[in-house]
Structure 1
Amino acid sequence: MNKIFKSFLRFFLFPRYDDRLILIIAGAFTGICSGIAAVFLAKSIHFITELLYGGTFGWYSVLFPACGAFLSALVLYKVFKDEGAHGVPDVIYSVSKFGGALKLRSSLSRLISSALTIGSGGSAGPEAPVVMSGASIGSNIAKLFKLNSRQRIILVGCGTAGAISAIFNAPISGMIFTLEIIIGEWHSRNIIPIAVAAVTGAQTGWFLKGKKSVFIIENAFNFELHDIVSCIGLAIFTGLASILLTRLMRGMSRLTSRIKLPVWCKAPIGGLMVGVIGLLYPYILGEGYEGIQMMIEGNFDRPDYIIWFLFLPAFYILLKSIATSLTIEWGGSGGIFAPSLVIGAFTGVFYYRVLSFLLPGYIWAGEGWYALIGMTGLIAGIMQAPLTGIFLVVEITGGYGIIVPLILVSAISSHFCRFFEPASIYLRSLVENGKLLRPGTDERVLSDLTVMELIEKDCQVIGQHMILRELVLMLKETRRNYFSVKDEVSGKFVGMVHLNDIRPYLMDDLIYDNVFVYQIMHTDVQTIGLDEDLTKVLELMDYHGLFSIPVVVDGYFEGMISKATLLDRYRKELRVQTAF
């Protein structure tokens, strides 16, 4: 199929094509497919929501999130036999470790399961499922045309960018999210195909569901210098809210890991708790975009009691954070993009009300303005991705006039969160398990090499009872400085002899027949196995000042790994990974 595709390009379209052109065309096709997937999810969520909540909202509505989470878990784990989690960390790990290889079934399983979760009222967003779906589509298109791992990673990025662009009608955000979070590398070879995919994904979304912003700003906001200065405080507030959501989800994850029940049993428990909260406070259900629109318009609830007026948004911050943790960590399917936008808007409204109460002498820009800025602060803080936070809010609201405060809050919030949480919510589990391998790092380069590829077999193995005279004669026939020592009876590795250990005896041939190998060998030798991580091998060599290290399997010597060979292969692998 790949040869046919290339031949078609060569003879009918582009006589002088190269791999970049193939990736641009394949990226455009990937963007269209992932855009269709994103629209399918958006319409599915809307359909299920209207079906369940379009009429009356009664006491029985408390069961909807539980039923949706139960069906979602069944579909994901029993029907498709797919793995859970947020989806985005799975894509990042696949890119960093397996060259972007993803299963085709993930392109559909996450769409169905998340539509059931979110449409029934679960507090989650559609972006993580469409990221997983788009990435899977890109991976399998690369597989269809037999592209290499580097090209497959780019198409995974194309699928991600197309999906995000279509779901939010935000092509710039789709491209930046992919480069900033998924691939983690800004390189010209990545940017062009991903940008093309983002545009085709957005155009597909516009064609199928209309070209309009997710949120509507009818009137331009007027803000002054004191509003911009006040954004420093808002950035701290959004940073604290980001840390709250991150730690709530972490704590909920640890709690659910101790509950010995299958996921399809735990998911409805979390859904039921969300339903109870939602029965009293409906703003926390689903994506929550209606609540954001109300806050942007300045029409959010305004109770008569001053204390409740001030702290109602803060109460919603806590409730939405808890509901999101219950939905995702108990087994529901969805992402944290949409909840972060809602929590950010609540944070902005809360900050505005406190600011207006404490400093009534100033005329502030308004609740809607601070809600928009708060959304950027949450996205930038919890994902530690300032550019994504800036451009997402700009594109989904069309609010290009507030770019300056967006930059300020995004930069401060992301750095504030990084101080308390070194890894973002997407990368935390990968960092803790040593699975984050970003492009260009030693870990990423060495992850594609194995001990078996580097092992040197031309090593001399000697018995521990060999006399020194025999060993000296062997020196004339080998260039090795190390000799592996074995037990003559069992054949197992017992130590090593280095040339420096023999040197003191070389000038005194009278003792050649009186010194045995076991008397001069080292028994406290550092060894590694065949499945050892090469990053740790290199660290071990540096720590102990070693230039070679023996490979021992089940007690038997297999060969040596030398630092010179390792670094030589490292250099060659780096060339391969950085070449297009």
Structure 2
Amino acid sequence: MGAVAFRRLIALFHNVFFAGRFSFVYDTLQHTAASPWGVWIILAPAIGGLGVAWMVKNFAPEAKGHGVPEVMDAIYYQNGYMRPQVVLIKAVASSLNIGSGGSVGREGPIIQMGAAFAANLSRWLRLEAWQRYALIAAGAGGGIAATFNTPIGGMLFAVELMMPEISARTLVPVMIATGTATYVSRLFLGHHPAFIVPPLHIAATASTSPEAFFAYLLLGLIIGLVALLFMRSIYWFEDRFDALPGNYYTRHVLGMLLVGVTLYLLLRTTGHYFVEGVGYATVQDVLNGRLEASVLLLLVLAALKLLVTSLTLGSGGSGGVFSPSLFIGATLGGAFALVAHGVDPSLELNVITAASLGMAAMVGAGTGAAMTGAVMIFEMTGDYRIILPLIVVGSVAYATRRLITADTIYTLKLTRRGHDVPESRQSNLYLDLPAREFVSHACVQVPVDAPWPPPGLRRFSPAGLPHLLLVDAHGAIAGVVPAQRVAGQWRARGLETRALALDEWQAVAADTLIVDLLGSVRREGAETFLLGRDGAAPTVAADVEAILVWSDVVQAAGLPTRERMHGGTAGT
């Protein structure tokens, strides 16, 4: 329902700004007619941008940008917390930006809106952490599934980018959400894909020649490089606008004025706005073969879409990068097919097939969701024969970008903040082992008032010093001196053992799993654990089986230190 309402809101703003009428009906696959405002249409994106800047600055700064990085940041750095006002502000700001002519997509906003709604619903229901993250992924995946009518693609998007844990208990809720979201959107928006791909043109890929296969490799390489250029361009423009004098309002209005000028010049020279809004009409033109007459026009449109998207987002706009990626991929793929056919007329590569491949590759390389891009295009075409070139072009494009930088268009924004996001989701077997498996030092009990060094240490070599457990006359635990601290003060004189003790310890059962200890480190800040006998947490010194220091686990299992964990490092 959120996706349906969001699309209706985009239609309303678009009709008001470009036609001066109040209507919720807007077919994105049809080009916008020339506005009755004439040259004054240049001001439409700027007026819309002024409203976006006011909403973002005063109500939800996190609604600025393309949305998905904020969701990833909330998952890995905010414990899944997202402010409730993000849902409304993101919807209105992004629909205003898109409807007034800004070159951004609607997928990023609906992902952020779905995730924010899920995050606040999970807080209201007081769900456990793993349930909260699964629900956020379900909200994000459901949003993109409803927008494109691609339930499997929506599920894979959640898996590739949103889910810290991938298991049956997290996948099933996402599957339910994407399936339900797609069904609801079909009731209101119709049972058809985002683009209408002519199926007959794809049949040629069933008999791919070696020459065509080589062309797929080359197309993937080109798309991978352009995806890198696209992601770098957005943040380059952002830095340039931030360096300009003035404030957020003046910078964003300036950027949107430049977008307005571009739209008007395109209308005067070609008859269409082409790069305005989500740009689906242009993509559909490429898929229908209406732009096959000019390679130059396709390349110019790809370059202009990259430019106006960078202007929109770099100056502070609100909207996604998914649709611009599809636009650039389709136009580049179409141009590539025309050039390739000119070089070798016998080559089995047509514009429609190449545009479809370019769309999948651009999404996969730029966002890092390689499987999502391939599967979504497959769902849109419904033709299994496109799978082989989809795999080749998408994989080569992703690999090309990945060889140059590990960051995607989403994670680069977080990297610039100093927030790393793990690239992989994997099962760490160490997390399911009990704490006693990581004990690497002996434990010696000494009186709390013992001099330094205590007499019991004399039988240990400097290379194998133990942890010290300080106890009082009644057997109560008074403190802990980890082996690392013992080694550091081994040759010191004139100290009291009590002065070296830590009081930041926690008593746990010896069979406590490391994954639960990791939670304790983050929650309590303790780094030293007293392991109890007989499956219970110790209460007196006689109950202590061993002492475990978190650094011992770090060395054995490669897990993050306490400082790195609180800094939000990748892998936690």
TM-score (norm 1): 0.71
Matches within 5 A, 1:39-78: 39-54=4-19, 56-57=34-35, 58-78=38-58
* Contact preservation (8 Å) 1:393, 1:399: no
CA distance in 1, matches of 2:402, 2:124: 40
Structure 2 residue 83 is the aligned partner of structure 1 residue 106: no
Structure 2 residue 234 is the aligned partner of structure 1 residue 249: yes
For residue 389 of structure 2, what is the aligned residue in structure 1?
405
CA distance in 2, matches of 1:68, 1:59: 16
For residue 471 of structure 1, what is the aligned residue in structure 2?
452
For residue 368 of structure 1, what is the aligned residue in structure 2?
352
Deviation at 1:439, TM superposition (A): 5.5
CA distance in 1, matches of 2:453, 2:284: 85
| Alignment partner of 2:154 out of 170, 174, 182 | 174
CA distance in 2, matches of 1:210, 1:225: 34
Of 471-480 and 243-252, the range deviating more from structure 2? 471-480
Counterparts in 2 of 1:408 and 1:473: CA distance versus 1, 3 Å: closer
Structure 2 residue 138 is the aligned partner of structure 1 residue 158: yes
CA distance in 2, matches of 1:214, 1:253: 30
Q: Secondary structure at the match of 1:299?
A: coil
* Contact preservation (8 Å) 1:380, 1:386: yes
Deviation at 1:93, TM superposition (A): 1.6
Letter of the aligned partner of 1:68 in structure 2?
G
Letter of the aligned partner of 1:51 in structure 2?
V
Deviation at 1:567, TM superposition (A): 7.9
CA distance in 2, matches of 1:376, 1:497: 55
Matches within 5 A, 1:178-327: 178-183=158-163, 185-221=165-201, 222-223=203-204, 224-226=207-209, 227-259=212-244, 261-281=246-266, 282-300=273-291, 302=293, 309-327=294-312
Q: 1:169-228: per-residue Cα shift (whole Å, max 9, x none)? A: 111111000111122543222211101100110011111111112111344113142334
Q: Secondary structure at the match of 2:200?
A: coil
For residue 410 of structure 2, what is the aligned residue in structure 1?
426
For residue 337 of structure 1, what is the aligned residue in structure 2?
322
CA distance in 1, matches of 2:457, 2:349: 86
Deviation at 1:500, TM superposition (A): 8.2
Q: 1:405-431: per-residue Cα shift (whole Å, max 9, x none)? A: 111111111111101121111112334
* Contact preservation (8 Å) 2:446, 2:468: no
Letter of the aligned partner of 1:56 in structure 2?
A
For residue 563 of structure 1, what is the aligned residue in structure 2?
551
CA distance in 2, matches of 1:83, 1:379: 22
Unaligned runs of 5+ in 1: 1-35, 303-308, 446-457, 463-468, 484-495, 504-514, 531-537, 539-546, 549-559, 575-580
For residue 492 of structure 1, what is the aligned residue in structure 2?
none
Deviation at 1:441, TM superposition (A): 8.4
Q: Secondary structure at the match of 1:283?
A: coil
Q: 1:343-369: per-residue Cα shift (whole Å, max 9, x none)? A: 001111110121122113x15442122
* Contact preservation (8 Å) 1:213, 1:398: no
For residue 414 of structure 1, what is the aligned residue in structure 2?
398
Letter of the aligned partner of 1:244 in structure 2?
L
Letter of the aligned partner of 1:44 in structure 2?
L
Letter of the aligned partner of 1:471 in structure 2?
W
For residue 332 of structure 2, what is the aligned residue in structure 1?
347
What is the total number of aligned residue pairs between the two structures? 463
Deviation at 1:47, TM superposition (A): 2.4
Deviation at 1:133, TM superposition (A): 0.5
Counterparts in 2 of 1:476 and 1:207: CA distance versus 1, 3 Å: same
Of 411-420 and 139-148, the range deviating more from structure 2? 139-148
Q: Secondary structure at the match of 1:351?
A: helix
Deviation at 1:565, TM superposition (A): 7.6
Deviation at 1:473, TM superposition (A): 6.0
Q: 1:6-51: per-residue Cα shift (whole Å, max 9, x none)? A: xxxxxxxxxxxxxxxxxxxxxxxxxxxxxx1111111211222233
Q: Secondary structure at the match of 2:64?
A: coil
* Contact preservation (8 Å) 1:459, 1:480: no
Counterparts in 2 of 1:562 and 1:334: CA distance versus 1, 3 Å: closer
Deviation at 1:471, TM superposition (A): 3.1
* Contact preservation (8 Å) 2:326, 2:362: yes
Deviation at 1:107, TM superposition (A): 1.3
CA distance in 1, matches of 2:405, 2:553: 38
For residue 387 of structure 1, what is the aligned residue in structure 2?
371
For residue 378 of structure 1, what is the aligned residue in structure 2?
362
Q: Secondary structure at the match of 1:113?
A: helix
Counterparts in 2 of 1:420 and 1:435: CA distance versus 1, 3 Å: closer
Counterparts in 2 of 1:51 and 1:415: CA distance versus 1, 3 Å: same
Letter of the aligned partner of 2:321 in structure 1?
I
The percentage of counterpart residues that share the same residue type is 25
CA distance in 2, matches of 1:568, 1:369: 51
Deviation at 1:257, TM superposition (A): 3.0
Counterparts in 2 of 1:312 and 1:66: CA distance versus 1, 3 Å: same
* Contact preservation (8 Å) 1:384, 1:417: no
Q: Secondary structure at the match of 2:192?
A: coil
Letter of the aligned partner of 1:317 in structure 2?
A
For residue 30 of structure 2, what is the aligned residue in structure 1?
none
Q: 1:373-423: per-residue Cα shift (whole Å, max 9, x none)? A: 111110111112211111121223444441221111111111111011211
Q: Secondary structure at the match of 1:220?
A: helix
Deviation at 1:237, TM superposition (A): 1.6
Q: 1:466-498: per-residue Cα shift (whole Å, max 9, x none)? A: xxx953567689975699xxxxxxxxxxxx984
Unaligned runs of 5+ in 2: 20-32, 267-272, 432-444, 459-464, 471-483, 506-517, 519-526, 529-547, 566-572
CA distance in 1, matches of 2:162, 2:185: 21
* Contact preservation (8 Å) 1:482, 1:497: no
Letter of the aligned partner of 1:359 in structure 2?
D
Of 103-112 and 81-90, the range deviating more from structure 2? 81-90
CA RMSD of aligned residues (A): 4.0
Letter of the aligned partner of 1:405 in structure 2?
P
* Contact preservation (8 Å) 1:376, 1:393: yes
* Contact preservation (8 Å) 2:197, 2:380: no
Letter of the aligned partner of 2:359 in structure 1?
M
Q: 1:138-181: per-residue Cα shift (whole Å, max 9, x none)? A: 11221222111110111101111111111111111110001111
Counterparts in 2 of 1:251 and 1:364: CA distance versus 1, 3 Å: same
| Alignment partner of 2:117 out of 137, 152, 161 | 137
Q: Secondary structure at the match of 2:452?
A: helix
Counterparts in 2 of 1:280 and 1:461: CA distance versus 1, 3 Å: farther
| Alignment partner of 1:96 out of 69, 73, 76 | 76
